Amino acid sequence: MTTALVLIDAQQNMLVGDEAVPSAPDVGPALADLLARARAAGAVVVHVQNDGGPDEPDEPHTPGWELVHAPEPGEHVVRKGECDAFAGTDLAGLLSRAGVRTAVLAGMQSQYCVAATARGALGQGLDTVLVAGAHATYDEDEDAHAISRATEQDLRAEGVRVLPGAEVAFTAPPDRAG
């Protein structure tokens, strides 16, 4: 089965600097590891980039909007304006054309864009995997780590597989398989 790594909003404003999510020192390397493993396997890689509004930290074409990991040739960038990366984009079509059956999700923010995109992937009939320790958020009414754990529990109950990064395997589309 072809797998895609979908990196959600892994942008400068969330992962770099004083305004980064509290767990950026742990999540940043987890995202880099997943990306390196997906690339090495020849898997489909999709970078989802949030387009914020004027004067927001992820306003298009500002430093905070830039992706932390530059896409390599053959990788896809999907820009979105809603939490669910499937809403108003061609993400579903892109994954379908590539023969993807499993979407591996990681990125920002756990209870918002990650959760909405996981639900969107389920709605597309995809086997959906959320990588534990490779998504994060900010402190709100609760500690950021507690919010991320609660998001995992909620999504697991809805049919998302939550796996540690070490248990995630990537497979390439047939035209890229070695």
pLDDT in tens, 106-119: 999 999 999 999 99
- Residue 7: predicted pLDDT: 98
User: 77-100: per-residue pLDDT in tens?
Assistant: 999 999 999 999 999 999 999 999
Tell me the pTM: 0.96
As a whole number of angstroms, the distance between CA 149 and CA 153 comes to: 6
- Residue 177: predicted pLDDT: 53
Residues 6+ apart with CB under 8 A from 1: 101, 102, 127, 171
Which residue shows structure tokens 């909003």? 9
Inform me whether the pLDDT recorded for 178 exceeds 80.
no
Fold (CATH) for 2-167: Rossmann fold (3.40.50)
Residue 69, sorted as left (phi over 0), alpha (psi -120 to 50) or beta, turns out to be beta
**Nearest-10 Cα torsion for 86, 90, 91, 96:** 120
Give the catalytic positions in this structure. 113
As a whole number of angstroms, the distance between CA 122 and CA 118 comes to: 6
The angle that helices 144-158 and 115-123 make with each other, rounded to 10 degrees, is 10
